[in-house]
Amino acid sequence: MAIKKNPEVDLRAMYRKVIEFALIGALLLCIIIFQAFSQFQKKGTQKQFEVAKIEVTEVPQTEQEKLPPPPSRPAIPIESESEDMPDDVTIDDTEIDFDELPPPPPPPAAEDEAASFFVPYDDPPDPIGGFAAIQAKLVYPEIARKAGIEGTVTVQAKISERGEVIDTRILVPLGNSGCNEAAVAAIKAVKWKPAKQRDKPVAVWVSIPVRFKLK
């Protein structure tokens, strides 16, 4: 006698098998995806470390070039007027008494008092040809030219009623290169218009700047 199978029991068994196969397939798919993701993450990390790799190179130390000092001006030897001293001459030791006070300075001379005395005038003295005539008469000292000395010498000159330079004083000198003497000589070589006080010529002191400049 044949036994009839219940269709509901077969469907239940088949459903269970389908569920088991689906779970196994999903588990295998998860394992494959996890393995692929881990491999991709390893490759990305390796690339990241390769990009962040820093190469260190040695830079040679540069030395600053030392510039030579500027050339100094040539010194001009000046012959001494005094005679040469022999080598065997010795100078005796001198004792200085610091307790003794120095003598007072001498009283000012009459010429200095006259130079500082101001004479009022209406029209100041003026060199004939202007101050350019003084510069034209100026002879540049050779020692100052070779040494490259430039500057201004201020001379105080006394102009007489006849327009002559009768006295001079150096107010602002320019070393000991002969410029002071050359400035005085140029001022004396020029004829002057005397100062006038109420249309009357008077002798006065004036300050005259003389400029030394190399061309």
Q: What is the pLDDT of residue 114?
A: 46
Q: What is the pLDDT of residue 3?
A: 47
User: Can you tell me whether residue 165 is helix, strand or coil?
Assistant: strand
Which has more pLDDT, 74 or 1? 74
Closest Cα to residue 121, out of 29, 28, 199, 40? 199
Q: What is the pLDDT of residue 70?
A: 76
Q: What is the pLDDT of residue 182?
A: 94
Task: Look up the CATH number of domain 114-212.
Answer: 3.30.2420.10
**pLDDT band at residue 5, thresholds of 50, 70 and 90?**
low
pLDDT at 135 over 70: yes
Cβ(165)–Cβ(183) below 8 Å: no
Please state, for a pLDDT cut of 90, what percent of the chain lies above it: 34
Look up the pTM and report it. Answer: 0.47
Q: What is the pLDDT of residue 30?
A: 86
Average pLDDT taken over every residue of the chain: 77
Predicted confidence (pLDDT) per residue in 48-106, tens digit: 545 555 666 776 676 667 777 777 766 665 665 555 555 555 666 656 555 655 566 65
Which has more pLDDT, 82 or 199? 199
pLDDT at 184 over 50: yes
Domain ranges of the chain: 7-45, 114-212
- Angstrom distance (rounded) from CA 190 to CA 65: 56
Of the CA atoms within 13 Å of residue 145, those in its CB half-sphere come to 8
Cβ(199)–Cβ(164) below 8 Å: no
Which has more pLDDT, 74 or 47? 74
pLDDT at 22 over 80: yes
**pLDDT band at residue 172, thresholds of 50, 70 and 90?**
very high
pLDDT at 111 over 60: no
Q: What is the pLDDT of residue 58?
A: 73
pLDDT at 136 over 70: yes
Cα dihedral sign, 108-114-119-125: negative
**pLDDT band at residue 210, thresholds of 50, 70 and 90?**
very high
